[in-house]
Structure 1
Amino acid sequence: MTLSAVGSPLEMWGGVECTVNRVGDTFRDQLVLNGHDVRTDDLERFARLGFRTMRVPVLWERVAPSGLEHADWRWSDARLAQARELGIRPIVGLVHHGSGPAGTSLLDPAFPGRLAEFARAVAERYPWVTAYTPVNEPLTTARFSALYGLWYPHVSDSRQFVRALLVQCRASILAMRSIREITPGAALVQTEDLGRTYSTPLLAYQATFDNERRWLTFDLLTGRLTRTDRMWRYMRDQGIDEETLEWFRVNACPPDLLGINHYVTSNRYLDTDRRRYPAHTWGGNGRHRYADVEAVRVLERPASPREVLLEAWQRYHLPLAVTEVHLGCTREEQLRWLGEVWAAAAAARQQGADVRAVTAWSLLGAFDWDSLLTRAAGHYEPGAFDVRGPAPRITALGRMIGDLAHGRATSHPAGQGPGWWERSGRFAHGHGETAPPALRTRVRRVAEAPLIVVTGAGGTLATAFGRVAQLRGLEAQLLSRSSLDVADPASVASALAEHRPWAVVNASGYVRVGDAERHRDICFRENALGAATLARECARLGVALVTFSSDLVFSGTARKPYVESDPACPSTVYGASKVAAEQGVAEAMPAALTIRTSAFFGPWDVHNLLTRALESLRAGGAWEVPDAVVSPTYVPDLVNAALDLLIDGERGIWHLTNAGQLSWLEFVRRGAELAGLQPGRVRVSSSILPHESRGSYTALSSERGMLLPPLENALERYIKARAEKLARAQPFDALTATPAAGA
């Protein structure tokens, strides 16, 4: 296989996060979690993006968990045949952060031979496949499985770590030997995570050791490790005999291409002053105890992707590719990271490195990597596609990947600022509270980035957008009614002409549900006329728009959560004004995004019902709630998801609430329980009329995709944020806010 020719343009490759790893006796399969296991049209989606080379899993644990005699090839047969038909060249992976089927492990001397048998079977079945990664990231997998004990076989011992690494590297060599007996020209694409370790002066010896150890996968496979090397001596000290190490020199299997996987957090920092860091970062080497943290949170400028690529090139002079690019973060940060890595690969090429491709990884997202796969919490990070709806939905990242794959220029307004790893706000643990001058001059000011205008300044929702936008490095201008009256066409036109935004967030509106029954005209002016007026001007200028509606567009008589296609049937003036707003926006600007949401709660204002209830309970009082079922919505989650959808260019109506529905009584009592207060002092009051709050049942769900975390998770984060404020003896600041819709 030709893994792109020397001198050819930089290619965009792709891959689906496909880990099958074992924790205890439980195997977790990312292909099952992301749905790729059952969907038959994913490869067509990928081909439309422009991929001509992809990393494709034919994993030992999936195909032959009970031995080759019982192998099930149906999934691999179908996917590889489809890839071939679509003109996609597969780089087939056999083990991806796994330890093999039950009955073997990374410490099993029989593991290499058994994997080689499986590899031969794969090659015999698919002789046209000409590129393989028998074992993904052997060093990284050995660290997580046998040094940190996170994955099976769950040991934390340097001797076992070395054995796990050698077993995997031996397995890779034997697997390629078996494959090449069937397909002589088959290429070895060897992947490994690569970063750099930094430290305080006292730990310089450990950083030096780590920076030599990081090359072990490639050094073993290329046969360059000799008796004079420090890592040779290290492995001998761990009980490895000379014959075992010499075997790798005699049976060297140099990769045809080195796959470099570099993440924002791949660079590490070691510090003996552990008190500055969370306890989960603490560790040691038997000589010193220290914290091991992300270097990007401490240092002004840790190694960049370009520098890492050049290091690998200068050491081996073998063809390179970035074989994983993914960032579990907000959408604009994903755009920025991909853009940086793509530019880094291009720059390394200009400096003489033979970099063939950049691989967009986790095309369908990833589950639970925030805990290194140790907890089955369902935490999802979208990728090029978001799989939380009825079908994978392409994101702004996916569109950027497609542009790069087709050689088109790509530039999203949201992706033009510096990434969080370049902004001074990234510093934690007491480091870098003020960005040093070099950093301030090197990083482009966020104020130079394209602008988002947010209406309704002073309200809960607008204030939250301003706060979250700042955290995400998005420049937002909050405008009050005096600067932008949404119901006045001249005011709208003037404000948008002055600020020239790429997007508008309409966070203004009349929010007093009970008062709306007496002030219908005012309510309709602010909610319906204002939204439609803003939509017409945004449509004329080609400016993106997101606006907000309410669960009160529904009557409240249902007994199952309302979804987007359910007919609106408001029972209040406020609800009717929101229906009129939805209709006016849809007519004026079909490309606008209208988000329906429910009762707010959050840590940044004092007006939401839960905060007021907990303050009352904390003061020794009681609290009464209406007899109704709702879908409470955590404001930080709402704002983050709304911004992601805005950046993705979504349109139409979308329900955004935290997953879950419960009565006001259950909700406030659960909050009180988590806060350590007395939930029994919360009770239902029949004196609170439905038109003063909302219908008796206005819970929401979504047929387009539930994008917010579960309500219990949101409540826990809210209580934690509230406790942190109380511990600082600071009352929740009102931020000059007034209650927002649904608050």
Structure 2
Amino acid sequence: MEVWGGIECSINRIDKSYFDQLEYNDLYSRPEMLDEVIKLGIKTIRFPVLWEKNWPNPGEAPDWAVEKHLNLLKHRKINVIAGLVHHGSGPGNAGIHSDDFAEQLAIYAKMVAQKFPWINSYTPVNEPLTTARFCGLYGLWYPHQKNSKDFLNLLINQCKGTILAMRAIREVNPKAQLVFTEDLTKIHGTCELKHQITFENHRRWLSIDLLCGKVGHRHPLWKYIIEQGIQKDQLSFFIENPLPPDLLGFNYYVTSERYLDHKLEIHPPSSHGGNGRIAYADVEAVRHPEAKLEGIANLMKEAWQRYRLPMAITEAHLCCGREDQLRWLKSIWEDCAQLNAEGIQITAITFWALFGAYGWDKLLTEEKGNYESGVFDLSSGSPRPTAITKFITALARQKIYQSPLINSPGWWQNQEPPAQTSSPVLIIGGSGTLGTAFVKICSDRNIHFLAPKSNELNVALIEQIENFILLHKPWAIINAAGYVNVDIAEGNFEPCFLTNTLGPINLAKTCREHQILFLNFSSDLVFDGIRQAAYRENDPVSPLNNYGFSKAEAEKRVLSILPSSLIIRTSSFFGPWDGHNFVTAVLEKLKNGESLTAMDDVVITATYIPHLVHAALDLLIDHEQGIWHLTNNGSISWYELALAVAKRGGLDGSNIQPISQYKLNLPALRPANSALETSRGKPLPSLEKGLDEYFHQRL
């Protein structure tokens, strides 16, 4: 099998607005980003030459916004599969619902072929059935219709456009091949909905059936199509002009399989729908306890038996923790390799969303939307390689990718984890606030870990660390231990230095010796607070107290010993699993009717521990190094934070009084501003989201 790549490139329309993924990731102005893709060893890429972007106005010459990109790929001998419409509705003059959509698309397709005659593979329309659903059945995308007739007309327009586009392309390049892509799905559900389930499992193939000339009088959906007002001559076009794809591409996601449930009351209103006779919920099968997924192997076998055409996976991607992204991609690769061994031709796996994607958590219904990383993470503005790059590079070179994480079950598999034989991650300080969070989240993410108690492993004794490593062979060490009482540290520097500085030094030395990844935590208190804006990673440190000094010294010494160490600076954190944090303390006092004071002259970036731990694990798995700032987005004083907590908890905030740190006579001076921000990637979610999740977890 070949290793292909693809860039999430949707240009979808909402009312009069076009949402363009390549505008969001800035690829139009930075063709050099493709150099990072080429380094992976990928030789074929699905690349957008989208109609709406390149020729939006028929009275004008095409813009060819991706000409430099395509020339770069040609020069580097990368095969291109050109996409012309990707979840799009066409330009304004020839919308997807227009009678001349197909003819206008063909005109544009011929222009592309004339401009780039060396391109030999095309996807004129990506996932026409899925697009017709979103535009014509669900009303999410333009033209925002919600009925079967519009759905069918939109589908027919796109499929006819595919045929006419390929006809026009082949006038220029007779060798051009059609790579037709569609979602690979299966519908499951309750017995009460068996007729609807049968219907949906016929409808999922309708775009391919049309192209292959299979929708005649004997087709199981013929009656349905005619009853919706579709004319017979619209269907006869496909029977008279069949165009079986040269390559049938399927896009399979963890949510591709659906479950229809008549028990509406147990599902959110957003999932409720129906067929006009029966109401039901349409939910992700992977999350329904009664669903049994078919999986990609069985569905590809079904497609093979139905069409007997060469096939490929044209999108493989999962938005989740990094280890599950790897597990998902590995499972797809292995399943398809097995199919090839059984004689079912799978040409390639396409690693999708190379530069991530924007807004898919809300189905592209809002401009830009939340970013999810892909093979590369663009959070910092430049492509940062994730662990997936190593996986792809290994496959491209026909080598085996080794990772202690990749063989454990993914979250979607609903399996009990097998007896752990892989190397663990070693969590130091597993009984503390931060360590407890790592223990819980590693367990949730099926990451094998060991969290020895302090009497089992004393990090002040380097020989103990050596012996523990030799016995358990961890692949990484996370130091979540720390001397955390800032005020007591002013009069007890030695124990503070022992825990916060000497311990990390010893761990760094042993990690260097045994080639183990090392993650250590530092603090916002390494800064003096003079800066008006939030501090970034490269700002000079100047601690005001012993605690801050112990952390700053640890940073310097650890990086001098082991430059590949990952050091995460964070700020005052709070979480739902411990009672020893400011947010919980405020809640408890207010619930008990007590008054409290909070500093209004000290600004921080409060941090929700689950957000911190998830992001830290992803960076560790990516083998990131150096200093990173990880905090929730948004600076706030302690007093403002207390008021926000009271408001979220529905409590009276009048019992909270502001006070200056100087009136508290604290032993340790705090910087007036220790807010953090990052220049290396995307910050954690907003503090508001962190508080929302905190209260949700506590309910």
Q: TM-score range by the shorter chain?
A: over 0.9
Q: Counterpart of 1:487?
A: 460
Moved more, 701-710 or 516-525: 701-710
Partner residue of 1:203?
A: 193
Residue 660 of structure 1 pairs with residue 625 of structure 2: no
User: More deviation in 405-414 or 464-473?
Assistant: 405-414
Per the alignment, in what secondary structure is the counterpart of residue 60 of structure 2? helix
Match of 1:632 among 592, 598, 606: 606
SS at match of 2:143: coil
Of the structure 1 ranges 139-148 and 414-423, higher mean CA displacement relative to structure 2 is found in 414-423
Q: Which digits, 9 at most, give the CA deviation of each residue in 1:640-691, with x for residues without a partner?
A: 0100000000111111111221222222222322332234443321233566
Question: Which residue in 2 is equivalent to 1:273?
Answer: 263
Deviations 1:261-302 (A, max 9, x none): 111111111111122222222211122111111112234641
Instruction: Name the CA distance, whole Å, in 2 between partners of 1:105 and 1:719.
Output: 45
1:313-341 deviation digits (Å, cap 9, x = unpaired): 11111110100000011100000000001
Distance 1:447 1:710, change over 3 A: same
Q: CA deviation at 1:694?
A: 3.0
The question of 1:700 aligning with 2:676 is answered yes
How far apart are residue 71 of structure 1 and its match? 2.3
Q: Does the CA-based 8 Å contact 1:17-1:366 persist in structure 2?
A: yes
**Cα offset, 1:106, TM superposition:** 2.2
Runs of 4+ in 1 over 4 A off after TM superposition: 689-693
Amino acid corresponding to residue 704 of structure 1 in structure 2: R
* SS in structure 1 at match of 2:92: coil
> Take 1:651 and 1:454, find their aligned partners in 2: how far apart are those partners?
18
Q: Tell me, yes or no, if the aligned pair for 2:360 and 2:369 is still in contact at 8 Å.
A: no
Judge which range, 119-128 or 354-363, deviates more.
119-128
Q: Call closer, same or farther: CA 1:180–1:662 in 2, change over 3 Å.
A: same
CA contact (8 A) 1:630 1:699 kept: yes
Residue in structure 2 matching 1:609, options 582, 585, 588? 582
User: Are the structure 2 counterparts of residues 194 and 68 from structure 1 closer, same or farther at C-alpha, using a change threshold of 3 Å?
Assistant: farther
Displacement after TM superposition at 1:114 (Å): 1.3
- What does residue 352 of structure 2 align with? 361
Q: Distance in 2 between matches of 1:477 and 1:194?
A: 39
1:12 is paired with a residue of what secondary structure? strand
Match of 1:55 among 46, 64, 73: 46
Q: CA 1:709–1:345 in 2, change beyond 3 Å: closer, same or farther? A: same
> What CA distance in whole angstroms lies between the structure 1 residues aligned with 2:367 and 2:320?
19
The one-letter amino acid paired with 1:713 is K
User: Conserved in 2, the CA contact under 8 Å of 1:637 and 1:708?
Assistant: yes
Q: Which deviates further from its counterpart, 412-421 or 676-685?
A: 676-685
Q: Do the aligned partners of residues 128 and 377 (structure 1) sit closer, same or farther apart at CA in structure 2, a change above 3 Å counting?
A: closer
Equivalent residue for 1:167, pick from 137, 157, 162: 157
- Give 2:409's match in structure 1, choosing from 418, 421, 444: 418
Matched, 1:293 2:283: yes
Local SS of the residue matching 2:66: helix
Aligned-pair CA distance for 1:30? 0.8
Separation (CA, whole Å) in 2 of partners of 1:680 and 1:67: 64
Taking structure 1 as reference, are residues 396 and 216 closer, same or farther at Cα in structure 2, changes over 3 Å only? same
Q: 2:214 aligns with which of 213, 224, 243?
A: 224
SS in 2 for 1:413: coil
CA change 1:229–1:390 in 2 (3 A) is closer
Residue of structure 2 in register with 1:647 after alignment: 621
SS in 1 for 2:532: coil
Looking at structure 1, the residues matched to 500 and 630 of structure 2 have their Cα atoms a distance apart, in angstroms, of: 19
- Structure 2 counterpart of 1:569, one-letter code: S
Counterpart CA distance in 2 for 1:87 and 1:707 is: 37
**Identity level (%):** 44
Matches within 5 A, 1:449-464: 449-464=422-437
Task: Please tell me the residue identity of whatever aligns with 1:556.
Answer: G
Q: Does 1:33 align with 2:24?
A: yes
CA distance in 1, matches of 2:669, 2:228: 68
**In structure 1, distance between residues paired with 2:206 and 2:419:** 40
- Name the CA distance, whole Å, in 1 between partners of 2:144 and 2:562: 56
Give the partner amino acid of 1:189: V
Contact kept in structure 2, 1:446 and 1:473, CA below 8 Å: no
Q: Following the alignment from structure 2 to structure 1, what is the Cα–Cα distance between the partners of residues 233 and 606? A: 64
Letter in 2 for 1:31: L
Inter-CA distance 250–405: structure 2 relative to 1 (3 Å threshold): same
1:158: which partner in 2?
148
Q: How big is the shift at 1:693?
A: 7.1
Unaligned runs of 5+ in 2: none
Match of 1:734 in 2: none
Matched residues in 1 for 2:664 and 2:183: separation? 59
Distance in 2 of aligned mates of 1:93 and 1:321: 16
How far is 1:623 from its partner?
2.9
1:667-682 correspondence runs (5 A)? 667-682=641-656
For residues 22 and 138 of structure 1, what CA distance do their matches in structure 2 show? 15
Q: SS of the counterpart of 1:607?
A: coil
Q: Give the Å deviation of 1:589.
A: 1.5
Change (3 A) 1:690 1:144: farther
**Match for residue 3 of structure 1?**
none
Distance 1:29 1:622, change over 3 A: farther
Asked if 1:127 corresponds to 2:112, the answer is: no
SS at match of 1:714: helix
Question: In terms of mean alpha carbon deviation, does 544-553 or 661-670 score higher?
Answer: 661-670
Give the Cα separation in 2 of the matches to 1:498 and 1:188: 56
Partner of 2:99: 109
- In structure 1, what is the Cα distance between the partners aligned to 2:347 and 2:429? 49
Q: Which amino acid aligns with 1:711?
A: L
Question: What amino acid does structure 1 have at the position aligned with 2:630?
Answer: L
Deviation digits for residues 161-187 of structure 1 (CA, Å, limit 9, x no counterpart): 111111111111111111111111110
- Aligned residue for 1:738? none
With 62-71 and 105-114 compared, the bigger mean Cα shift is at 62-71
Work out the CA distance in 2 between the residues paired with 1:24 and 1:102.
11
Q: 1:193 to 1:573 in 2, by over 3 A?
A: same
Note if contact 1:326-1:361 (Cα within 8 Å) is conserved in structure 2.
yes
SS in 2 for 1:91: strand
Q: Which residue of 1 aligns with 2:254?
A: 264
Rounded to whole Å, the distance in 1 between the matches of 2:453 and 2:555 is 22
Letter in 2 for 1:638: L
1:90 to 80, 92, 101: 80
From 693, 696, 709, the equivalent of 2:685 is: 709
SS of the equivalent of 1:610 reads helix
The answer on 1:504 being equivalent to 2:480 is no
Question: Is the 8 Å Cα contact of residues 170 and 176 (structure 2) preserved in structure 1?
Answer: yes
Q: CA deviation at 1:255?
A: 0.7
Q: SS at the partner of 2:451?
A: strand
Give yes or no for the alignment of 1:352 onto 2:328.
no
State whether residues 483 and 495 of structure 1, in contact with CA within 8 Å, keep that contact through their aligned partners in structure 2: no
Secondary structure of the equivalent of 1:408? coil
Q: CA deviation at 1:68?
A: 5.3
Q: Does the aligned pair in 2 maintain the 1:390–1:703 contact within 8 Å?
A: no
CA contact (8 A) 2:97 2:154 kept: yes
Alignment-mate amino acid for residue 78 of structure 2: I
| Contact in 2 for aligned 1:446/1:475 (Cα 8 Å) | no
| SS in structure 1 at match of 2:338 | helix
- For 2:112 and 2:127, the matched residues in 1 are separated by 20
Cα shift at 1:70: 4.2
Aligned to 2:534: 561
Q: State the partner residue of 1:181.
A: 171
CA deviation map 1:373-407 (0-9, x unaligned): 12347322111100011421000011111111121
TM-superposed CA distance for 1:507, in Å, is 0.3
Where do residues 221-260 of structure 1 align in structure 2 (5 Å cutoff)?
221-260=211-250
Q: Which residue of 1 aligns with 2:322?
A: 331
- 1:220 aligns to what SS in structure 2? helix
Residue 18 (structure 1) aligned with residue 9 (structure 2) = yes
- 1:384 and 2:375 aligned: yes
User: Is the deviation greater in 378-387 or in 705-714?
Assistant: 705-714
Shift of 1:20: 0.8
* TM-aligned CA distance change 1:163 to 1:688, over 3 Å: farther
How far apart are residue 712 of structure 1 and its match?
Answer: 2.4
